[in-house]
A = this chain, B = another copy of it.
Amino acid sequence: MIYNLLSHINSPQDLRKLKADQLELLAKELREFIIDIVSTKEGHLGASLGVVELTIALHYCFDTPKDLLVWDVGHQAYGHKILTGRRNIFETNRKLNGISGFPKREESIYDTFGTGHSSTSISAALGMAISSKLKGDFTTQHIAIIGDASIASGMAFEGLNHAGVTQANLLVVLNDNAIGIDPSVGALKSYLTRAKIGQKPLTDNIIEALNFHYEGPIDGHNLPKLLKAFESLKTKQGPKLLHVITKKGKGLKQAEEDQVKYHAPGKFDKATGEVLSKENQDLPPKFQDVFGFTLLELAEKDEAIIGITPAMPTGSSLKYMMGKFPERAFDVGIAEQHAVTLAAGMATQGHKVFCTIYSTFLQRAYDQLIHDVAIQNLPVVFCIDRAGLVGNDGATHHGVFDLAFLRCIPNLIIAAPSDAIELRQLLYTATQDLQKPMAIRYPRGRGSIKEWKKTFQKLKIGKGRCLLEGEMLAVLSLGSICSNVSKGIKAIDGNFSIAHYDLRFLKPLDEDLLKSILKKFQHIITIEDGTIKGGFGDAVLEFAQAENYRGKIHKLGIPDQFIEHGDTEELYDIAGISSEKIKEKIISILK
């Protein structure tokens, strides 16, 4: 593929030298470039394809980097990255030491605000706009580009609600494609759907009711229309919103037709668009599917069971229950706060609510977990997905703080299954007369067990288990990092007798088991795929200190820094919790 125009564009300054009628060709090239790279290097596809014209128009009309663009979530910023000097390194996208899959301030002056989580762009851009105004700068433009799924989140509303009473020079570009990762939901979405290109909603315009100047909707793939709209909006004072209708996956037939699959399709044939099969048939299942299928199975037998996801039916595999029991399984949109308190409300009426939220997004509902669930001791079950290091999505998406931020909450049971069978049994256990809130955290991706559909068996809350007897040293692990420990121990040459315990529960701790371990071993290693500060290791340390333990506890876990993107195995190694690093640690103690 020859990129006649694109290959000369190393910055938006180069872009702005083009004539307006060349932009359509550039859009074609940019789209092909994205498809070319993502088809082999993987990454997020659909969102960026949908905003190719929008991205070009923004950098063409506005004086970036002086004018400030904030890309909400940032899945859609590949075109932006390619046009702002990162074309030649774009193939390192999401790889260790490569560029990030999301906008990132450290990476480029054009990335004015790091994103990853949704619905932050309006607040951030408004902050920038108010700053400019205070500095007497009335020329800089401040632009938030936000999707229709993200603008429906409460945080975005808070931003709009504040912006509407300022005179800040803020432009919100609503990229309305009726889908986030899964199709958008909610009343605002229904409302937006009623707006058609060229047909402004005449009454009940929510945006105008919030004091915004509203323009649109316009066709987001029509470059002349976009250019005209931006040129006109540039001169408009105060907060304004441009409603742009786009198609996610635009320009790749399959991506347009199966927008969920092509959000991040993995490798695909760039000519045909077909996703390359990974021959997954023989692999052990994803933890997500173990959750999704088990919950469905439980829900078939127990009418009291309800499932809730904030906008991740596919990612979390709640989609299986949603398919079979649509009236009992809810996608509430990007609304973690609401999801948790909704669950609490249902729990007061006797329903058994399973609320599945990614670990990093549970940070959005921390107060609701404490205030609405834990204080009231309601038996809501939190299925905390993508806990631990998640790999290529990087710092914004690693679920590494949950053990620490949950441990301090009274009443809460905190469990972490070491494998798929354990996850299945914990889910079952949570349906058996649960009297308190419970968190079950598990990682992204596949475990190592294929035969996971065991007969249901209730686990005893707060009881761990010994996986390997030993004499010289005990390794205590929590959760699926267990498998790294097993591999690490197995790889040790020589005649070392090492014990391995799976504690299963961070809270309540298995004090009987711990007492026996403290009694027996002079060296204990704790290991968790969570921050070293305040989590599992600290819980063991606290107990050991109270028991006057005189031996040595070696804590392994995510060090006190943000871990960047890379393959999970690479990141485990960096964090010192790969099987190799565990092995080395054990040897260093025993030698």
Binding site for B on A (CB under 8 A): 70, 105, 112-114, 116-117, 120, 123-128, 130-132, 134-135, 152-165, 185-188, 190-191, 202-206, 208-212, 303, 306, 327-328, 330, 332-333, 335, 337-338, 341-351, 360-361, 363-364, 366-368, 370-372, 374-376, 395-396, 401, 404-405, 407-411, 531, 533-535, 538-539, 541-542, 545, 548, 550, 552-553, 555, 560-562
A338, closest chain B residue (CB) = B158
Which residues of chain B are near A535, meaning CB under 8 Å?
408, 534
Contact across chains for B372 and A363 when beta carbons are under 8 A apart: no
Task: Pick 16 A–B contacts, CB within 8 A, sort by A.
Answer: A120-B371, A131-B350, A153-B154, A155-B337, A157-B158, A187-B211, A190-B211, A191-B210, A191-B211, A203-B204, A204-B208, A204-B209, A405-B405, A407-B534, A408-B560, A411-B561
**Contact pick for A562, options B70, B364, B411, B548, CB 8 Å:** B411
Whether A130 contacts B346 by the Cβ 8 Å rule is yes
A131-B349, A162-B186 are known; give 15 further A-B pairs, CB within 8 A: A113-B344, A124-B345, A125-B345, A127-B346, A134-B328, A154-B154, A161-B186, A162-B335, A188-B210, A191-B209, A363-B370, A408-B533, A410-B561, A534-B535, A542-B555
A186's nearest neighbour on chain B, judged by CB, is B161
Once A134-B351, A186-B165, A209-B191 are accepted as A-B contacts, the answer to whether A127 and B405 lie under 8 Å apart by CB is no
Q: Is the CB of A361 within 8 A of B351?
A: no
Nearest to A187 among chain B residues (CB) is B164
Among B124, B209, B351, B539, the residue within 8 A (CB) of A206 is B209
> Which chain B residues border A328 with CB–CB below 8 Å?
134
**Complex alpha-carbon distance, A545 and B361, angstroms:** 32
Residues from chain B with Cβ under 8 Å of A376 in the complex: 105, 113-114
* Chain B residues, Cβ within 8 Å of A191: 209-211
Provide the bound-state CA to CA distance between A117 and B344, in Å. Answer: 14
- List of B residues within 8 angstroms of A338 by Cβ: 123, 155, 158-159, 161-162
The distance in angstroms between the C-alpha atoms of A361 and B371, with both chains bound, is 10
Min CB gap A102→B, angstroms: 10
> Would A367 and B361 be within 8 Å (CB), given that A162-B338, A165-B185, A341-B155 are in contact?
yes
Taking a contact as CB atoms under 8 Å apart, the answer to whether A165 and B153 are in contact is no
A213 → B minimal CB distance (Å): 12
Q: For the complex formed by this chain, how many copies does it contain in all?
A: 2
Contact A542 B552 (CB under 8 A): no
Which of A130, A161, A361, A545 has the largest count of B CB atoms less than 10 A from its CB?
Answer: A161
B206 adjacent to A190 (CB under 8 Å): no
Q: Rank and list the top 10 A-B pairs by shortest CB-CB distance, nearest first.
A: A127-B345, A154-B154, A164-B187, A158-B338, A363-B367, A131-B349, A123-B341, A158-B335, A534-B534, A404-B408
Return the contact of A405 from the options B70, B332, B351, B408 (Cβ within 8 A).
Answer: B408
B154 and A158: CB pair below 8 A? Answer: yes
Which B residue sits closest to A202, measured CB to CB? Answer: B203
Q: List B contacts of A185 (CB < 8 A).
A: 162, 165
CB-CB under 8 A for A343 and B127, given A154-B155, A332-B162: yes
Q: Is the CB of A346 within 8 A of B552?
A: no
**How many Å lie between the Cα of A576 and that of B325 in the bound state?**
50
B131 contacts A160, CB within 8 Å? no
Q: Which residue of chain B is the closest to A155 with respect to CB atoms?
A: B337
CB-nearest residue of chain B to A104: B376
Give the distance to chain B from A5, nearest Cβ to Cβ, in Å.
32
List the B residue with the shortest CB-CB distance to A308. B127
Q: Which residues of chain B have C-beta atoms less than 8 A from A404's C-beta?
A: 404-405, 407-408, 534
With a cutoff of 8 Å between Cβ atoms, the chain B residues found around residue A157 in the complex are 154, 157-158
Give A165 to B161 CA distance when docked, in angstroms: 22
In the bound complex, residues from chain B placing their C-beta under 8 Å from that of A210 are: 187-188, 191, 206
User: Is there contact, CB below 8 Å, between B126 and A342?
Assistant: yes
* Cα–Cα, bound, A210→B186 (Å): 9
Chain B residues with Cβ under 8 A from A561's Cβ?
410-411
Q: Which B residues lie within 8 Å of A363 (CB)?
A: 366-367, 370-371
Q: Which residues of B contact A164 (CB under 8 A)?
A: 186-188, 190
Residue picked from A165, A208, A306, A555, most chain B C-beta under 10 Å: A165
The residue in A187, A210, A368 that gathers the most chain B C-beta atoms within 10 A of its C-beta is A187
- B residues in contact with A306, CB < 8 Å: 134
- Give the residues in chain B near A202, CB-CB below 8 Å: 203
CA distance A185 to B166 in the complex (A): 11
> In the docked arrangement, what's the CA distance between A496 and B259, Å?
73
Contacting pair A131 B345 (CB below 8 A): yes
Return chain B residues, CB-CB under 8 Å to A531: 408
CB distance from A413 to the nearest CB of B (A): 13
